[in-house]
Structure 1
């Protein structure tokens, strides 16, 4: 199994990145099932330490979004890593607004997308965004206008590559007719596989697939289950085996597990060294979609 892939055909990145959503704490008093990502972490020094440790451990793709902590996550990345090493790739997203801790809404007005990209440039302290992803397609605006706004930023030299999030194969094809698509970021993990056709299509096209929520929770991970058994066979943790399954699933799979814990960070990154046998991969693949959810 290869340990790197070429993002956009030119940026070499490790097969496990780091997603910054988990740096922001859940807001007390709200629905715990919703990712709030509303405020920056109270302990900024600890968050910066996690970001720096991720890079020390070999992670060179950091994923964020303008809506995470209303932009404060971008500032944390810059405080931790700027000026950036030449091999560090920063991926961010625009096109979703977060007006309260429990609201996530698409907003694809072309002028808004361009404005948010400009703000990302400032907060991240970069002259060009390596990977700018459309966080959600807004049904109120034509897809070609939304993707066209991002393509304009590429033409202006402010963005290097374009990605999409939560899209179908048909939408990827439509967007690719406007500008090359370097990545797709959909919900996908061992027990949530509704994006199977997108995983297959991106692999065939050489498009990076960044599964968000890459490690599922549920009964499938309980003691005595397939996941726990295989983890014991490998001397690994269930989380590591879940990530190893993703890496085996597609040559363009690039999980971006997030955490605010240094110990969990090291556990996640070590998953890249785990090699599943054909039998282990097949046993994991046979876990019923939605198991334990």
Structure 2
């Protein structure tokens, strides 16, 4: 039965019968037969069928929710039993907001030193998407904002407070300044993250509160794109110190603290509130708690 639930999860993820079968390592007829067998066993129609995938029935959505729990619990049980025999092994899936990407190595490096048989997948995405991926059991943990928008039933480990810097050219309008106000930052041509990013919503709200309507002339979901445009001398951007410092000191740009007002938002690890937690999640929470004091001291 577990394999049929895994077929169902693959179909939900891929939204295509052929790709779902490929991701499960089976033929499309095998996947279709497995789903049909699941429908017969449960006595309900799960998938709206036509020449292509057309979604799930209402009953299918309920089965899908149970399938996520059952598959996740089965994987957790196997991981737990396996760790008793071989130590911690497996695949840890982590999703991170773009502005927090530099902090990931503070967790993965010491974690991998202690548990060398664990593999990692790191996804950069929005805070909303992190919440959804956790609820759908498609990731094990996320690093995101803790205090700006509702998270839902999550366990959290605060890591640091995100503050903000104006990243601009060395010879720009604020050359020689040790700080700028938010109102001043709103006066220069800005390139910012896309509006679906919570960082962008924070920046927009702060600028508006200071009487500056945010009108960036370039947006991207990539901080690399933003910084590459700042280097041209035509744009500035607003980034947290943990990301600005990762750019290094050899670049033709500088990061100026933005004050008045002093804005800070908590960023940390989030995992689903499930008991028992998997050994991988338990170990990652412990590593995050160990790393938090140094991060708090540096960035708070």
TM-score (norm 1): 0.24
Which one has a larger percent helix, Structure 1 or Structure 2? 2
